[in-house]
Amino acid sequence: MNTSEPAESREPRPLRILVVDDDEVDRMTVRRALRTAGVHAEFTEAEDVRVAVTALKEKFFDCAFLDFRLPGGDGLDVLRKVRAAGVRTPVVMLTGQGDEQLAVELMKAGASDYLSKGVVSPERLERSLRYVLRVHRAEMQAREAEAAREVAITARARFYAAMSHELRTPINAIIGYNDLLLASIYGTLNEQQLYGVDRAQRAARHLLELVNDILDLSKLEAGKMELQVELVSIPELIEDLFTTIRPMADKHGCTLSFSCEESSVVVHTDPRRVRQILLNILSNAIKFGQSKPVELRCGQTPERGAVVEVLDHGPGIAAADLSRIFEEFVQLGHAPHTGTTGTGLGLPISMRLAELLRGKLEVESTTGEGSVFRLVLPSTLQVEAAAPEGGGSTG
C-alpha cells in the first residue's frame, strides 16, 4: 500500500486528485470546475467502489471527490473500507440534494466534507478542496507531534529506569552504612557526629524518595506502570498501612484514627497502588498537619465501589493553590518539625495512579481548618497488564 506523499521537489507539484463517479459527464464537470478555479492538479478517475478502493489503497492522493451513488455499493462502503485500511486521504463526498441526514452519517464515517451535486460550482469545489487540505495538514501535524511525544516519553522512561537502578544502588549503600553508624556498630559517636550522620541519612532517604518518584512518574507517563488486580479489603489494607505510618505519626506528635461505615468494603483493584496513594496522602497530612489529629474514613459508593477520606486539621490549602497541588514539583509548604519539603511528586503520582485504577482523587480544603482528600475506587478493575519497563518502587 502506498499512501504516503512522495518527496517534495523544488517546484510545487500539481495536486493529485481522485474523482469517483459512474457518470463520465459528472467526472468531467468536477475536473473542469477545479481547473476553472485555478487548481493545478493531476486527475485520476474511478467508476465504481472496487476501483476506487484499490486506487486509494495503492496510490497517494491529496484529495478524493467521491459520488455517493456508485455501482457495487456506495460512498459509505468506500469510506469504511479505506479508513479501516488506514488510508487517511481527505474525501469530499458529493451527494444528492436533500441528503443532509446522509451527509451527517458520511462525516461520522470519515468524510472530510460534503457538497450537494446540485450546487457544485468552481468556487464551492475550490473552497472545499482548500478546506479539507488545510484540516488534513493540521491533523497530520498533530499526529506527528503526538507520535514524537510518545517516542520521547518512552525514551525518557527507559532512561529513568536505567538511571534509577544506577542511582538507587549507591544510595541504598549510603543508607545502610548510615544505619550502621547510628547503631554504633563502628563505635560510639559523639553528639555532633550523630547529628551529622542523621542529617546525611535524611538527605539520602529524601534522594531515594525523589529517584523512586521520578521513576514512577515516568512509567505512568509512558503507560508502563504494571497493575496486579486482586480482591482487596480496604479496611484491612488501611490497618496494615497504619502499622507502617504510625512511627512517622508518633515522631510528629500526630494521632491517627480510622472508622468505616460498612462492615466490609471489598473491591477488585491493585492493593500496592492503593497503598501508595494513601501513603502519599497520609504522609503529607502528618508532615504538614501541625501535630494535629489525622482521621481516615472508609465507606462504600452506591455502585459498590470504595471511598476513602483522609482528613487533617492543618493549615489548609488556599483556594488559589488547589488547582496546582496536582502539578509536578509543586511544593506549597514546609514540614514544621524539619523545615523540609517533599519531592513535589507525591500528589501528581497519586492522581495518575487513581486514574489508572479507574478511580478519582479529589480534595476539599479550607484555609486555617484543614483538608479532606477523597479517593474513590470502582468495585471492579479490568485492565491489560502493561509491559515491564525497568525497576519500580512501592512509593
Q: Residue range 241-270: average pLDDT?
A: 91
pLDDT at 264 exceeding the cut of 80: yes
* Top CATH class, 225-395: alpha beta
Mean pLDDT of the chain: 85
Using an 8 Å Cβ cutoff, are 377 and 269 in contact?
Answer: yes
Contacts 24+ apart (CB under 8 A), 177-182: 178/204
Average pLDDT over residues 177-191: 93
Is residue 336 pLDDT above 70, yes or no?
Answer: no
pLDDT at 3 over 80: no
Domain regions of the chain by residue span: 15-120, 149-224, 225-395
Cα separation, 373 vs 290, in Å, equals: 17
Higher-confidence residue of 157 and 86: namely 86
39-94: per-residue pLDDT in tens?
999 999 999 899 999 999 999 999 999 988 888 888 888 888 999 999 999 999 88
10 Å CB burial of residue 280 (0-12, 13-18, 19+) is buried
| Residue 105 pLDDT | 82
Q: Do domains 15-120 and 225-395 have the same CATH topology?
A: no
More reliable by pLDDT, 191 or 224 = 191
Highest mean pLDDT among 134-143, 221-230, 287-296, 352-361: 352-361
The beta-strand segments (E) located in the chain are: 15-20, 41-46, 63-67, 69-70, 73-74, 91-95, 113-116, 230-233, 256-260, 266-269, 294-300, 306-312, 360-366, 370-377
pLDDT at 337: 45
pTM: 0.59
Measured CA to CA, the distance from residue 280 to residue 227 in angstroms comes to 18
CATH C-level class of 15-120? alpha beta
What is the share, in percent, of the chain residues with pLDDT greater than 90? 48
The CA-CA-CA angle for residues 32, 35, 39, to 5°, reads 145
Residue partners of 316: CB distance under 8 A and separation at least 6? 365, 366, 367, 368, 369, 370, 371
The string of pLDDT tens digits covering residues 277-301 is 999 999 999 988 888 999 999 999 9
